Amino acid sequence: MGKVIAELVLADPIAELAAGFVRKGNNFEGADLGEFLGQEKTGYKITSNLDQFVKSCEAIIDFSSPVFSLECAKKAAENGKIFICGTTGFSEEDKQRLVEYSKQCAIVWSSNMSVGVNLLFTLAEKVAAVLREDYDVEIVEMHHRNKVDAPSGTALSLGAAVAKGRGVDLKDVGNMARSGANNPRKKGEIGFATLRGGDVIGDHTVIFAADGERIELTHKATNRNVFAAGAIRAAIWGSGQKPGFYLMRDVLK
């Protein structure tokens, strides 16, 4: 993902690539960013020094893990940098820490940086508000075999959008898995189905099912460029914002 972001930044007419970060001991530490991407030298090096990395950038784009993302967000806050985060798997406590850090810098977080998926969030909320509990809602997602969190952050965000449209809390109506012989569907619940296999980048479908008809809203990502492009767009947008916690949906308004 980092390589995709770097390649798109280099090709962007507004954004400029300033640094790359790797874990300590990585074979690419100290390499020139341009050469790493198979292009001309840029003079900018890949580093494992987080302080050095943060200070060399105006905006940081991060798709990593909750633990590292929080560490990076803290450094961004201390240095007044824009922080764009596409990491999923945060606990509610983790999210509150991000909100605290955003008092010192602009933070844009989304479970999915794709413009299309964020449009899907809006559509799911609006459809849910119209159809209410007269339609059963199931959210189906599929990702590659190596994805570790389930349901995906995007699926959970879709569930939250549906719940918001209905005026309820996902915590009260979400059903993350069904199992057993005596487990009937409850009226108003939002169900989730998680699939893992192959190299699927990300498929998400929100199903509104009633007697006699079914409405399906679907988004399928066929390459990771859509996430990187959205993150770069968020970074450029964030350069004109005051400190605060923003969502990708704010970027697209």
Q: What is the set of active-site residues?
A: 143, 147
Whether cis (ω within 30° of 0) applies to the bond prior to 13 is: no
Distance of CA 34 to the CA centre of its chain: 26
Q: How far apart are CA 15 and CA 201, in angstroms?
A: 25
Structure token digits, residue 18: 């300033």
Burial class (CB in 10 A: 0-12, 13-18, 19+), 218: exposed
Q: How far apart are CA 19 and CA 44, in angstroms?
A: 6
Report in angstroms the alpha-carbon separations of 138 from 57, 184, 232. 42, 14, 32
Max CA separation in the chain (angstroms): 64
Q: Which residue, 118, 154, 122, 73, is CA-closest to 233?
A: 118
Residue type, 17: L
